[in-house]
Amino acid sequence: MNIYLSIIYLVATVTFITGLKLLGHPDTAKKGNQIAAGGMGLAILGTILLHDLEVPGFVYGLIGGAILLGGIIGYVIAIKVKMTKMPELVSLFNGFGGASAALIGLVEFGQNSGEISQTVTILAAIAIGSLTFSGSMIAWAKLNGTLWKDIRLPKYNLINNVVLLAIIAYATYMVFTGTGSLVFAVILLLSGLLYGVLLVIPIGGADMPVVISLLNSLTGIAAAITGILYDNMVMLAGGILVGSAGLILTFAMCEAMNRSLINVMFGAFGSTEVGGDEHHAQTTGTVKKATVSDVAILMNYAQRVIFVPGYGLAVAQAQHAIHELEQLLENKGVEVKYAIHPVAGRMPGHMNVLLAETNVEYDKLAEMEDVNPEFQNTDVVLVVGANDVVNPAARNDTSSPIYGMPILDVDMAKQIIVNKRSMNPGYAGIDNELFYNQKTSMLFGDAKTTIQALISELKGM
């Protein structure tokens, strides 16, 4: 390899690591993203201009055209995508990364020299890349609402395990027989696509943050495998960083739900068919309704208020309104915080990203472990669009599907206001005991419209 290209790859790898470090804090996240993107751009240019291969001139035109087209599409998507659609976008990006690895594996399969190590690498790229692509597409369809029902075949775990073992056995056969037929590789590709569908399709919406994080990790692993295949250190380093970060985040999400990764992937929790209607029928009580004026009076005379954002806040695009409400209350001398559950929303860190868009101070975002002891000394809690992460059934009801999951202890506050469109259960498909708490008042309506009305009411006091 050209010594200058090696230096460029080293610099690019350093930018990846630096960028990943800076992404750990909202104040430096934008800078970290720019640094890492700059490193990737440098690596791409270095590869194109300093490679040791002899290629026809028109190939540079194809590469340039592909980069230009992909750059334009990516820019337009990034500019136009709504924050509510960010989880779907992440799923699509994961899928495209997996598809790229699978296609690279197919291309290289026909040029395989026959070495066992190279064959293993190629087949791993095809299998992991294809299952990541199909699994990500199913996750996208679930998040987008296109696939609204969780589909579980009879004995689905047994079927999934049989398919997985069959793929491993088939790939092993290909390695030791040394077959060079592209038909065999295509069969492996199709098998990977099938397994990705079977793996994700029974998983319910409540587990989507974990699924997205795991698929993101698999995309990184696929990229690392292609780096090994091409002896490309920057692809290898980048893939390892994405894969390891994704795995760490995956296990962090599982810990936040007090469940194992195996249980998440094979337990079909969060399905509307698992304990949904039955648990809903067991939860009864009186629901109190509140008006905007009632809530405004409570907040106006409160000393401490905590906001609990959920996916409903994102759907209503109410992040700017709630930030304005926060500033208004602080001007009245009220202490305001945001309680952030690790799995609130549809992807890891969804609420943090949503609120960062409105320039909410990072210090006001309190993690679950830090904020839970403060609820008992809080005058008013405003829950906006959050369901499962505030459901006391996780502590009180051993028959509940979410029993044992750490939640935000909002029921410990003096007054609880829940802003929702209706009494429908959350994405996990189970009813919420909090709605029937004597201290809870339901403030029905669109989050953005309701919060704006609340702001107007408070300004008149």
Catalytic residue, from 150, 207, 388, 431: name it. Answer: 388
- Tokens linked to 55: 């290629």
Bridge partners for 306 per DSSP: 337, 381
Residue 267: DSSP 8-state: S
CA dist 155 to 124, 276, 410, 427, 434, Å? 27, 20, 38, 24, 35
- Tokens linked to 392: 């006391």
Distance CA 101, CA 292 (A): 53
Contact call for residues 305 and 333 (beta carbons, < 8 A)? no
C-alpha 445: how far from chain center = 27
DSSP 270-316: T-TTSSHHHHHHH------B--HHHHHHHHHT-SEEEEEE-HHHHHT
Distance CA 31, CA 17 (A): 13
C-alpha 113: how far from chain center = 39
388 is catalytic: yes
DSSP 82-129: -GGGHHHHHHHHHHHHHHHHHHHHHHHHTT--S-HHHHHHHHHHHHHH
Which residues are designated catalytic? 388
